[in-house]
Structure 1
Amino acid sequence: MNVQAKPPPLPAPHVVKGEAVFGVEADYGRFATPKLDLDAMVWPRNEPAPARDVPVAEIMDVLVAVGERLMSDPDGSLAEALERSVKTNPLPRDVLERSYADLGRIFNRRAMMFQIEQELGGADVIDGWREVATPSGRLARIRAFPTRLAHIIAGNAPGVAAQSIIRGALTKCVNLIKLPSNDLYSATAILRALAAVAPRHPVTRSFSAAYWRGGDASVEGRLFRPQFFDKIVAWGGESTIRGALKYVGPGFELVAFDPKTSISLIGREAFASDATLDDVTSRAALDATLMNQQACVSSRFQFVEGAGEDVDRYCAALQAKLGEERPTSSRTPIPLAGDIRDELDGLRAFEDEYRVFGGYDGRGLVVRSDAPVDFYPDNKIVNVVRVADLAEAVRHVSVATQTVGVFPARRRIELRDALCSAGAQRVAALGLAQPETGLPHDGFYPLHRFVRWVTDEGERD
């Protein structure tokens, strides 16, 4: 009998202070990485952050050059990272291809300038000391000072790595990025591009990226200390956030992009005409399928105002569009998890209360109900909840609600204060769930949280 040989693990490089490190000493089965050198990955406290005195304008020049290199990929490094990601990332190839093709565009000067202006109030406060006078007449100077950041990034979208690098660079911080097992290659590919366009530049020397198993106390217990880092910037699920919280204490804080769920509110105006319903369900499907519904901004519960027959028309139209190909969504079927299939089989037995639109072929399902289902809709599954008035949906909003997409605009204006009072962090027009940088994310400005705000008070002489 022929036994198929086990394929060798895919090599996943590290980056240490701007230098790529290759090796396969640490074997994790599907992939292998270089041996961790914890001492090399930290920056001594008695040395200033390398980029502290580099003007933001120069940093933007470097980042724009990184974007240009990612777009041209002259040495094929990004293409290699893509091919390896296809083998280790759960997202389908076509979504990854489009995401990688778009990485360079994220390094956009106008977007970075907007971030600096919106989140810090201008480059002067990060490049130097902004002078103010207090109401008593005391002179003070304020600076957004670089800190030392340990990033635990999410792997559900390559853009997370790009945004983490841009934010860390614009704030002149030193940054250790823990690579996620489902996106081992995006951050290192970007950092290798950074090293190519600006070798040994202070910004380049401000970044390290490495993989270790999440929660490994032998690594995190040594790294996540205030003598090495000021803050953990953690993305991910509850276990990731709770794991990071273990290390929080005086002098060491958590900046959490914690797990969220997003929803949509659809007013009865959607049924004004067939054309309107078609437009609304197209927008709703777009919001529901961002990164194949793996993003926190992806709508999973949609509260629809209207009579039963109209809501069922909405469900049927929405289900037909969930499987369409979009920039961040694939038409490739997603296998239905066994436990979800069991849940759906159970719901089908209660046709008076629930109706399931679509089959088990992985091309999208809609469950219509009068109250939110108990399971977590995922992989292009949307729970449409029928309501008599959109205001009824507010009671289902909490601090775990990130984005609320609303149609039409007038209803958004009416509901936004109540939604935000209930805990929602973002209200947007239906179809605009994909966020843009420079606006608050999860209820705060990231750049503002990354830095340490310090003051120098008193006369100059």
Structure 2
Amino acid sequence: MNTTTIDKPATTANAPGGPVPVCHVIKGRVVTGTDVEYGPARARFATPALDLDGMVWPRREPGPAFDVPLAEIMDVLVQTGERLTRDPDGLLAEALEFSVLTSPLPRSVLERSYASLGRLFNRRSMEFQVQQELGGADVLDGWREVDGAPSGRRHRTRAFPPRLIHVIAGNAPGVAALSVVRGALTKGVHLLKLPSNDLFTATAILRVLAAVAPGHPVTRSFSAAYWRGGDEKVEGLLFRPQFFDKLVAWGGESTIRGARQYIGPGFELVAFDPKTSISLIGREAFESDAVLADVAERAAADATIMNQQACASSRVQFVEAGVQDVDRYCALLQARLGVERETASACGNPLASDLRDEIDGLRDMQPHYRVWGGYEGRGLVIRSEEPVDFHPDGRVVNVVPVASLDEAVHHANVATQTVGVFPASRKVALRNALAAAGAQRVVALGQAAMFETGISHDGFYPLQRFVRWVNDEG
């Protein structure tokens, strides 16, 4: 690669009250500097200049952890999780304070999210992931014998360590932790692009990893840096098969479309596409006032995951009842949207002006529409005969009465990630039709945030997609 530094130095210094400093981690080494500035005046941040040569691993030599036993890698990850929980060096505490300045999530949600990061580095969970997604550690540590081929020949296969760029999402700090765990388990080399709405979690985790295992092959297998998404000067050089096998992209439609322009022979896309989620609530919810109150609580919990920034957050809820009963439910739901939870604050950001304008127009269209709540960020519910034609966001939930949940299934599509169902007993009758419509995950109402690593994510097994499958035939 010919160009090592591609950004010009910033013109303003990082004085007190100036841009927030963002470090990079390059192959286990922390890089600081405020050479390049980004962001609007109210959320300015500065990063070191990019050294593109230092951010890639040459193909002429194996990655640092390619031949490290998986058991040893898990040992390092478990210790990293324990240190993240204790935070003796204050690295997570520092990342939290900086994140508060730049993240759209409130401090209370960030605090709880950071406190739980260490749980993702759990040995039992990692062993489950490897067993479920790859069939066991043997295919990572060496060549697995393949018996029973119709030809009578004996073959061997290996889940070979990959070379990956990760464009990670910033809507939840756990995405960075998941990316590090999955990357380490596959033994590859990994460049994480920091998202502008979570500039500090990934680097904090990698700094803790370096403190646990300085110079270890796993530590040297990760880099994390920020550049502006879509910057062709950077991505046109990095997103190439000379350096990486695959691009793992999380994010919205613009992110995925931008990534696809670089995909070609030898450079694949693993896409965690933009998703939305829904709820299906059966007539059983109206058996009693107590049951209805419980259903409203469960549905509100599903709707406010990461203040409704998570893909699993329910934005449209289909309720099997007449309008009068649905209106009772809507009032209860709106009251529960403003409750402090593990993954949500009591109040989010005020609604954007364009969304307020859309909702203002509906308030004058009763009885076809009815609106509960205000625009201050404590939650708002819209009841409509059909799903609204705009994207509910900022703790806004659209509730649609339906004659049957079978009718509601037709509103699921390939962009539907999670479907919460009440009562849970009705999942069995609905799941095949939901899967056929394109939905990827069916859960009991109130359990949308309970992700289990090791089972499929967005319709595929991540570890299986990350690795390169190589055969030794005959």
Q: Give the TM-score band, short-chain normalised.
A: over 0.9
The partner residue of 2:321 within 306, 310, 317 is: 306
Determine the C-alpha separation between the residues in 2 that align with 1:450 and 1:333.
35
Determine the C-alpha separation between the residues in 2 that align with 1:341 and 1:275.
33
Equivalent position of 2:22 in the other structure: 12
The partner residue of 1:38 within 52, 57, 67 is: 52
SS of aligned partner of 2:109: helix
In structure 1, stretches of 5+ residues that fail to align are: none
CA contact (8 A) 2:307 2:348 kept: no
SS of aligned partner of 1:396: coil
Number of matched pairs: 454
Determine the C-alpha separation between the residues in 1 that align with 2:216 and 2:377.
47
Equivalent position of 1:419 in the other structure: 434
Is 1:392 the counterpart of 2:407? The answer is yes
Determine the C-alpha separation between the residues in 2 that align with 1:90 and 1:361.
15
Is 1:65 the counterpart of 2:79? The answer is yes
SS of aligned partner of 2:116: helix
The partner residue of 1:194 within 205, 209, 221 is: 209
Residue 313 of structure 1 and its aligned partner are, at CA, apart by 0.9
The partner residue of 1:90 within 62, 87, 104 is: 104
The partner residue of 2:234 within 192, 197, 219 is: 219
Determine the C-alpha separation between the residues in 2 that align with 1:354 and 1:343.
12
Determine the C-alpha separation between the residues in 2 that align with 1:432 and 1:260.
17
Q: Deviations over 1:249-283 (max 9, x none)?
A: 00000000010110000000000111111111111
CA contact (8 A) 2:348 2:395 kept: no
Determine the C-alpha separation between the residues in 1 that align with 2:325 and 2:102.
42
Equivalent position of 2:140 in the other structure: 126
Equivalent position of 1:450 in the other structure: 466
The letter of the residue matching 1:17 is K
Equivalent position of 2:4 in the other structure: none
Equivalent position of 1:338 in the other structure: 353
Residue 171 of structure 1 and its aligned partner are, at CA, apart by 0.4
Determine the C-alpha separation between the residues in 1 that align with 2:376 and 2:255.
32
Determine the C-alpha separation between the residues in 2 that align with 1:332 and 1:82.
19
The letter of the residue matching 2:246 is K
Determine the C-alpha separation between the residues in 2 that align with 1:148 and 1:362.
42
TM-score where L is the length of structure 2 = 0.95
Q: Given the superposition, is the C-alpha separation of residues 455 and 392 from structure 1 closer, same or farther in structure 2, using an over 3 Å criterion?
A: same
RMSD over equivalenced CA pairs, Å: 1.0
Residue 124 of structure 1 and its aligned partner are, at CA, apart by 0.7
Is 1:151 the counterpart of 2:161? The answer is no
CA contact (8 A) 2:420 2:444 kept: yes
Q: Given the superposition, is the C-alpha separation of residues 71 and 6 from structure 1 closer, same or farther in structure 2, using an over 3 Å criterion?
A: closer
Determine the C-alpha separation between the residues in 2 that align with 1:85 and 1:360.
25
The letter of the residue matching 1:312 is D
Determine the C-alpha separation between the residues in 2 that align with 1:399 and 1:329.
27
Structure 1 residue runs of 4 or more that deviate by more than 4 Å after TM superposition: none
Identity value in percent: 73
Determine the C-alpha separation between the residues in 2 that align with 1:206 and 1:362.
41
Determine the C-alpha separation between the residues in 2 that align with 1:11 and 1:131.
50
Is 1:436 the counterpart of 2:452? The answer is yes
The letter of the residue matching 1:40 is G
Residue 6 of structure 1 and its aligned partner are, at CA, apart by 8.4
SS of aligned partner of 2:234: helix
SS of aligned partner of 1:304: strand
Is 1:203 the counterpart of 2:203? The answer is no
TM-score where L is the length of structure 1 = 0.97
Determine the C-alpha separation between the residues in 1 that align with 2:199 and 2:293.
39
Q: Deviations over 1:273-325 (max 9, x none)?
A: 11111111111111111000000010000000011111111111110000100
Q: For 1:243-392, list aligned pairs within 5 A.
A: 243-392=258-407
Equivalent position of 1:406 in the other structure: 421
Determine the C-alpha separation between the residues in 1 that align with 2:375 and 2:163.
47
The letter of the residue matching 1:286 is A
Residue 73 of structure 1 and its aligned partner are, at CA, apart by 1.0
Equivalent position of 1:103 in the other structure: 117
The partner residue of 2:37 within 27, 33, 37 is: 27
Determine the C-alpha separation between the residues in 2 that align with 1:360 and 1:236.
26
The partner residue of 2:189 within 174, 181, 189 is: 174
Residue 136 of structure 1 and its aligned partner are, at CA, apart by 2.4
Q: Given the superposition, is the C-alpha separation of residues 333 and 17 from structure 1 closer, same or farther in structure 2, using an over 3 Å criterion?
A: closer
Equivalent position of 2:89 in the other structure: 75
Q: Deviations over 1:2-51 (max 9, x none)?
A: xxx98211110001111111111112251111110000000000111211
Is 1:231 the counterpart of 2:246? The answer is yes
Residue 425 of structure 1 and its aligned partner are, at CA, apart by 0.8
Determine the C-alpha separation between the residues in 2 that align with 1:454 and 1:111.
26
The letter of the residue matching 2:384 is S
Structure 1 stretch displaced more, 427-436 or 377-386: 427-436
The letter of the residue matching 1:19 is R
The letter of the residue matching 1:98 is R
In structure 2, stretches of 5+ residues that fail to align are: 1-14
Residue 393 of structure 1 and its aligned partner are, at CA, apart by 1.0
Q: Given the superposition, is the C-alpha separation of residues 333 and 204 from structure 1 closer, same or farther in structure 2, using an over 3 Å criterion?
A: closer
